[in-house]
Structure 1
Amino acid sequence: MTDITSTGLTRRALLGAFAASAVAAAPNYSQAAGFLRGGGDIRRIRMYSGRTGERIDMIYWIDGDYIKDAVKEVNHFMRDWRTDQVKSIDLRTIDIMAASHNLMDVSEPYMLLSGYRSPQTNAMLRSRSRGVAKNSLHMKGQAADLRLSSRSVGQIARAAQSCRAGGVGRYSRSNFVHMDCGDVRNWGR
């Protein structure tokens, strides 16, 4: 997933350049709706994976439309790295992650610990930990486990909870927050 090829700029690099100028020139956010208030006319997601070494800094929504190629890259990035299986990530989950990141006003990308999980991976993790649900929303592409080194689990969880758009789990001992687009609920400490 490189941004520059020997022939010049890729679409990803071009979007990245656009992102820098679009963020600086973003319009008044006061009319943005719902939990993405403050999102303006663009939505952006920034993550890296310690497991694969990959990074993503992607504008995936502009002026009311999801960018199909960008969403496809997010889906690939959030794949089950153990099996290399890709599943479409529910756009509501991506929106919750982006809105929470915006609310914390950080430039640091999320560290993605877990996005999509195949049933095999979920069963393996469940056999090792009581904290893994049998019917985890990870298996539906509706959840992510995330960490930021510059913010505490409590700060990340409060940002996600303020979206009032899904489940938020605090895993303080493991230093991550679970976000999903299921029923509004929270757990952990």
Structure 2
Amino acid sequence: MSDPIRSFRHFRDVPDGLWRWKNFSPAEIACRGTGQLKLHPEALDKLQALRDRLGKPLIVRSAYRSPEHNRNVGGAPRSKHMDGTAFDIAMSNHDPLAFEAAAREVGFLGFGFYPRSGFIHLDLGPGRVWGERFPVRATAFAAETPPAREAIAQSRTLKGTGAAGVATVGAAGVEVAQEVLAEAQGAILPLVPHLDILRWLFIALALGGIAVAVWARMDDWKKGLR
């Protein structure tokens, strides 16, 4: 028998013993507009299975949406987000082709591709596909850094108030920083073979600046300005 679907007025109301998805927190899955949460165990089991299969963090852009919030963001009238069975996952640290293949293997059936916004929509079905596919990446990803956002989620600090509220803000900041760094790595990696040249170029520029400053001071001294 499958676990029942449960609804909570706020993600902080989820009992500790009920949450079993180690790499995610209730705050990540809750409605961004209201804090409400519809806990769909089957969908979350598949999301955790996808995280385990890929072996790297999943940045959840959107999960559950209350009907009100879904209207406010222009969601489809029958959006799967309102059922708690859909997730929008950022592709900033994933290869879209490998991500889609892994998502299909763990049981996701609905796929929406949003390359301009940088995410893929996943849901439990029915099976369908929409949107323009992501272009093939020209460079590989750099090695992953320890997922600080997930460490905070595991500590359960995102469920509290007061000091835990600071942790919530901190977690959001870490998530944004991770995403920005992941987006930037595609531009940085092609420069890696030229780092030595760039280093010596910067050193030469610095020495040139020092030489100009020394010459200017000596010239002023000769003219009696110093």
Q: TM-score, normalised by structure 2?
A: 0.45
Structure (1/2) with the larger helix percentage? 2
Counterpart residue identity of residue 78, structure 1:
I
Distance in 1, Cα, partners of 2:58 & 2:129: 20
Match of 2:118 in 1: 175
User: What SS is found at the alignment partner of 2:38?
Assistant: coil
1:152 equivalent to 2:98? Answer no
Larger Rg: 2
1:114 shift after superposition: 0.5
Counterpart residue identity of residue 125, structure 1:
V
1:148 shift after superposition: 4.3
Counterpart residue identity of residue 87, structure 1:
K
Distance in 2, Cα, partners of 1:138 & 1:184: 15
User: Which of residues 50, 55, 60 in structure 2 aligns to 1:100?
Assistant: 50
User: What SS is found at the alignment partner of 1:77?
Assistant: helix
Distance in 1, Cα, partners of 2:50 & 2:76: 23
1:88-130 CA-to-partner distances (Å, cap 9, x unmatched) read 2x222112222222332x33x211110110111111111xxxx
Match of 1:70 in 2: 20
Is contact 2:28-2:60 (8 Å) kept? no
RMSD (Å) for aligned C-alpha atoms: 2.4
1:151-173 CA-to-partner distances (Å, cap 9, x unmatched) read 13333222212334421222112
1:78 shift after superposition: 0.9
After the TM superposition, which residues 28-177 of structure 1 pair with which residues of structure 2 at under 5 Å, given as runs?
A: 68-70=18-20, 74-88=25-39, 90-104=40-54, 106-107=55-56, 109-126=57-74, 132-177=75-120
1:42-94 CA-to-partner distances (Å, cap 9, x unmatched) read xxxxxxxxxxxxxxxxxx9xxxxxx62436x8444311122122222x22211
Counterpart residue identity of residue 114, structure 1:
S
Structure (1/2) with the larger strand percentage? 1
Distance 1:174 1:155, change over 3 A: farther
Distance in 1, Cα, partners of 2:65 & 2:77: 12
User: What SS is found at the alignment partner of 2:61?
Assistant: strand
Q: TM-score, normalised by structure 1?
A: 0.52
Is contact 1:147-1:175 (8 Å) kept? yes
Identity %, equivalent residues: 30
Distance in 2, Cα, partners of 1:146 & 1:165: 13
Distance in 2, Cα, partners of 1:69 & 1:103: 20
Unaligned runs of 5+ in 2: 1-15, 134-226
User: What SS is found at the alignment partner of 1:121?
Assistant: helix
Is contact 1:143-1:179 (8 Å) kept? yes
Match of 1:186 in 2: 129
Distance in 1, Cα, partners of 2:101 & 2:129: 10
